[in-house]
Amino acid sequence: MSSNTVTLHRVLKATPERVYRAFTTAAAWAKWLPPHGFVGTVHELDARVGGRYRMSFTNFTTGHSHTFGGEYLELEPGQRLRYTATFDDPNLPGQMQTTVTLRAVFCGVEVHIVQEGIPSVIPAEACYLGWQESLQLLAQLVEAAVEG
């Protein structure tokens, strides 16, 4: 596994259950996970331990796509998720692992994310930037209290 790792921390004005659901619902994941300038498509999502997912990000400007997928290793509703990811592109070798920890706090939910094993050809700073953009979109999704 590559030594490239990013660690992120946010507090969102939402519940742990809403944030957890955003990670385990295909339409939600496609909406918030792709960083700015990309469109996401979830091809498969079986949110159970041992279940698999497949997703692609398509660059809206160039149309170039990259596909990745993995396995759910740990799922504790409203508390924790851990899953792997491997790119289909042989130029992006190795297996990443993402751990998401959720904790209710007085003003919402504290979110900790650690992504390990990022392929060495992807600068950690670029990955971190992409996650920051994704978390901005996540906040917009889970903090909105749409009635009706």
Give, as one character, the DSSP assignment of residue 107: T
Q: What is the pLDDT of residues 46-98, one digit of tens each?
A: 999 999 999 999 999 999 999 999 999 999 999 999 999 999 999 999 999 99
Mean pLDDT of the chain: 95
Euclidean distance between CA atoms 75 and 81, whole angstroms: 5
Please name the amino acid found at residue 72.
Y
Do residues 89 and 105 touch, judged by C-beta distance below 8 A? no
Q: Please list, in sequence order, all residues whose beta carbon lies within 8 angstroms of the beta carbon of residue 110, skipping any fewer than 6 positions away.
A: 9, 10, 11, 102, 103, 104
* pLDDT value, residue 54: 98
34-47 mean pLDDT: 97
User: Structure tokens of 64?
Assistant: 């170039």
Q: So what's the pLDDT on residue 2?
A: 57
Decide if pLDDT at 148 tops 90.
Answer: no
Query: pLDDT tens digits for 115-127?
Result: 999 999 999 999 9
Please tell me the distance from the alpha carbon of residue 56 to that of residue 42, in angstroms, as a whole number.
7
- The confidence band for 145, taking pLDDT boundaries of 50, 70 and 90, is confident
pLDDT confidence band for 3 (50 / 70 / 90): confident
Domains of the chain and CATH, by start: 4-143 (3.30.530.20)
CA distance 87 to 67: 6
125 Cβ partners below 8 Å, 6+ apart?
none
Output the pLDDT for position 52: 98
Residue 143 has pLDDT above 80, yes or no: yes
